[in-house]
Amino acid sequence: MGKCTLVFCVYYVNIPKFVIQDKENIVKKVWGRELWYFSDREENPSYIRLDGQVISFSELIKAHRKEIIGSEKYVKFPILVKLLEINSKISVQVHPTDEIARKLGEKESGKEEVWLLLDRGKIYIGFKRDVKVDELDCNEILEKMNKFDGDYLDLFKIDAGVVHYAEKVKILEVSNNSNITYRLCDFFGRKTEPDKVLKAINMKKTDKGSIVCRDGKALLGKFILEIVQIDDTKKFFNEGGFSIFIPIEDKVTIKYGNELLTLLPLQPCLIPASTTVYEVIGSGGFSVRISAKGE
């Protein structure tokens, strides 16, 4: 019998009903750190434990794309989930649309995202009014942006092209699987990209009503994020796609038939598309469910 390579072995394992990471996937930043959940990216892949082996999440996706994602159209896992622990200030930044990313020669798509605040902090999203190029002065830029004194579990949608910034806050960030960021202003002397910013940024007024998600749910092109309260037992359906479940306040137990998995606060769990229905048992705390529809 020939030697079993990692990819070969992954093709022949049974897909579990629930997938969890083997360890935290930490990216250190000058302003704090990021924890990446189920990353299918070459620069910082997540690792999972499967049948006693530790393998990259990317290898699992390559071998079982249909069973995990629910669709063959995605070459990569379609979303990127990060926990941002911001101890000081991130850059004033913007992400491009798909069209601008192509025009600028980027190898990946543009980016839109959702921010869920896990404590209080200051965030700035979009402009209060239309601005001109000569008004993009880093000494005064925040004065021209919509300011939010964010509270626990506040939810914000950030479209591609919309300038944003945050300081001293913990954020659960969910986006499509792109990591393109153009810095307009930086507080640690890191490289800025004003030429790309000018091509990507939306200098029109951004209405606060298009930013704040008041019903505990945010809908973007590739996913839905919803805040759910688990009191006793609640049933969920994967409607042709996968979901990611993250308890925020208390531990919860996920159940499929006789199979049980207990999650601690901020411990993410991926429920593959092949697990079509599951139950979550809790004691009243809030959790986050991120779901994507397959095709």
DSSP 49-83: EETTEEEEHHHHHHHSHHHHHS-SS-SS-SEEEEE
List, by residue range, all CATH 2.60.120.10 domains of the chain.
Answer: 6-219, 224-291
Q: Which of 279, 224, 227 is nearest to 17 (CA)?
A: 279
Instruction: Give the predicted TM-score (pTM) of the model.
Output: 0.94
**What pLDDT is attached to residue 9?**
67
Q: Which pLDDT tens digits describe the chain residue by residue (295 residues)?
A: 344 555 546 776 788 999 999 999 999 999 999 999 999 999 999 999 887 889 999 999 999 999 999 988 888 999 999 999 999 999 999 999 999 999 999 999 999 999 999 999 999 999 999 999 999 999 999 999 999 999 999 999 999 999 999 999 999 999 999 999 999 999 999 999 999 999 999 999 999 999 999 899 999 888 999 999 999 999 999 988 999 999 999 999 999 999 999 999 999 999 999 999 999 999 999 999 999 855 5
In our burial notation (b when 16+ CB lie closer than 10 A, e otherwise), range 63-96 reads: bbbebbbbbeebebbbbbbbbbbbeebbbbbbbb
In our burial notation (b when 16+ CB lie closer than 10 A, e otherwise), range 147-164 reads: ebebeebbbbbbbbbbbb
Fold of 224-291: Jelly Rolls (2.60.120)
**What pLDDT is attached to residue 3?**
46
**What pLDDT is attached to residue 5?**
55
Question: Contact 236/289 with Cβ under 8 angstroms?
Answer: yes
Fold of 6-219: Jelly Rolls (2.60.120)
The whole-angstrom separation of Cα 35 and Cα 69 is 22
Task: Classify residue 140 as exposed, middle or buried by CB count within 10 Å of its CB (0-12, 13-18, 19+).
Answer: exposed
**What pLDDT is attached to residue 2?**
43
The whole-angstrom separation of Cα 200 and Cα 195 is 9
